[in-house]
Copies of this chain bind each other. A is one copy, B any other.
């Protein structure tokens, strides 16, 4: 079982409800699910779609070939009919689309009529559609009942019943009328967790003691702000929508100075506005975690599409020289653990740590059996309370490893002074060259080797001594992984995936060996200028000869990537 269901239509037609609901049904039934979304920068109209892949084995990417296309408008048929697989079916409501298709791969389900019959409103037409999808695959939908109850619980029994009736009507109609339907459902198993990367980052942050999140809304980073907001009360988190991104990062730095683990998140243009604040974090050695959800740029670009073109910006954001760490998780699970590591390193070394994601990852959901909370780390690095901090406390005391003890202001007789100017050990402005030199060495040179040691090597997945290595970073993880799985049937191939992107780890021998002995190395990036390949070259000297780039704002899809990879392999 490996089906792809695509729901297409205009913004505001309920595509997201349908997609979210069926994914939840599938994951709760124990299937593996991968979803991705494609939408325009508008609130109503245009053309959007939501793609759900389900399987009884792990799936981590979207496929080109569609099995069930739910067309909520004509445009969806026009655009996506060609994507239909040989057994594929297009479900639509002929009367509301005002167009009838008589070809055998069309199934007309009167969404509206059935929902009205069930006593429902137009929103319930979506329930009929959900019913039709499940019916076609042969899923009964008991799970759906409870999901409907959970999400609509407070809307009253009557609405609830109408929804369920609508669902049943759709399901039964599809069962009865889809004579060509050859789908089957694998036996269900243990419920899976269905989660996206923004939720995973939020959870990872909360589990790491983050108590302060401030941001200015910006797609696709807003999901993190939403998540924090939704958990603010429960976990006692101060969440504040700032007046702009400059304020957001400065507030977060204020909170961190005051002793609270804090974080901010943004996207391209918003990140640009934080660049000066990042430099301030560098100078004042205040721990801060910044999530940067990339989208196609320059400027406003394509606000709801995907790209991986802000790596160099993150690498060099902020004037002057100071250490930083950059993570680029490949999936929500990595995001969860890396966010935890981000907080730990940021507080341990008193540096800014960036978590890079992108729209594709932000709008994808993945299934897991669960997250291992015992793999999380929490170490309190702050000096706390009068008893442990001497009155002569110096915020920037010179130390062996460059890390000075970090005390909390207002809690004793000592004082905590930080300064954006170059400063002495006490934090006061200086002018002399010698102190400057010592502070650069403390802040930058002394810390760097320790930070490098913390970095994990990239993940080599697939053949252990591969002829072909496909290199990726961040959000291409899932798709490269599946492509490699597929190609491994005929080739000695492996994926080398970097989720800890910078600084490069010290002991690079392991993966460098794989790169050097491979006959073919290929770097896959969602950008036009091979940013990661250039970074790898700068850091290791290794020049990846073949690059696959996509910069039209759309993610790679499985069959497409396999085809391009095959093309290169064929030329070996």
Residues of A whose CB lies within 8 Å of any CB of B are: 40-41, 46, 246, 268-269, 271-273, 275-276, 279-280, 282-284, 294, 296-303, 305, 307, 309-310, 312-313, 315-322, 419-422, 429, 431, 433-434, 436-437, 440, 444-445, 527-529, 534, 537-538, 551-554
Contact A431 B283 (CB under 8 A): no
Contact B316 A313 (CB under 8 A): yes
Contact A551 B272 (CB under 8 A): no
Extra contacts besides A301-B320, A437-B551 (11): CB < 8 Å: A46-B431, A271-B319, A282-B298, A296-B320, A298-B322, A300-B422, A301-B319, A312-B316, A321-B528, A433-B552, A537-B538
* A26 smallest CB distance to B (angstroms): 28
A-B residue pairs in contact (CB < 8 Å), sample of 26: A41-B431, A268-B279, A268-B320, A271-B319, A273-B276, A279-B298, A280-B298, A280-B299, A282-B298, A282-B299, A294-B319, A297-B319, A298-B320, A298-B322, A302-B421, A302-B422, A310-B319, A321-B528, A321-B551, A433-B553, A434-B552, A436-B553, A437-B551, A444-B528, A534-B538, A538-B538
| Most B C-beta atoms less than 10 A away, residue of A272, A280, A310 | A272
| Most B C-beta atoms less than 10 A away, residue of A271, A553, A554 | A553
B residues less than 8 Å from A554 (CB atoms): 433
| Most B C-beta atoms less than 10 A away, residue of A41, A246, A310, A316 | A316
**Closest residue of chain B to A319, judged by CB?**
B268
Contact B303 A421 (CB under 8 A): yes
B residues less than 8 Å from A319 (CB atoms): 268-269, 271-272, 294, 297-299, 301, 309-310, 313
Contact B552 A437 (CB under 8 A): yes
* A300 smallest CB distance to B (angstroms): 4
Contact A297 B309 (CB under 8 A): no
Contact A283 B297 (CB under 8 A): yes
Contact B301 A422 (CB under 8 A): yes
Contact B299 A41 (CB under 8 A): no
Contact A297 B269 (CB under 8 A): no
* A526 smallest CB distance to B (angstroms): 11
Among B269, B321, B419, B551, point to the contact of A309 (Cβ < 8 A). B321
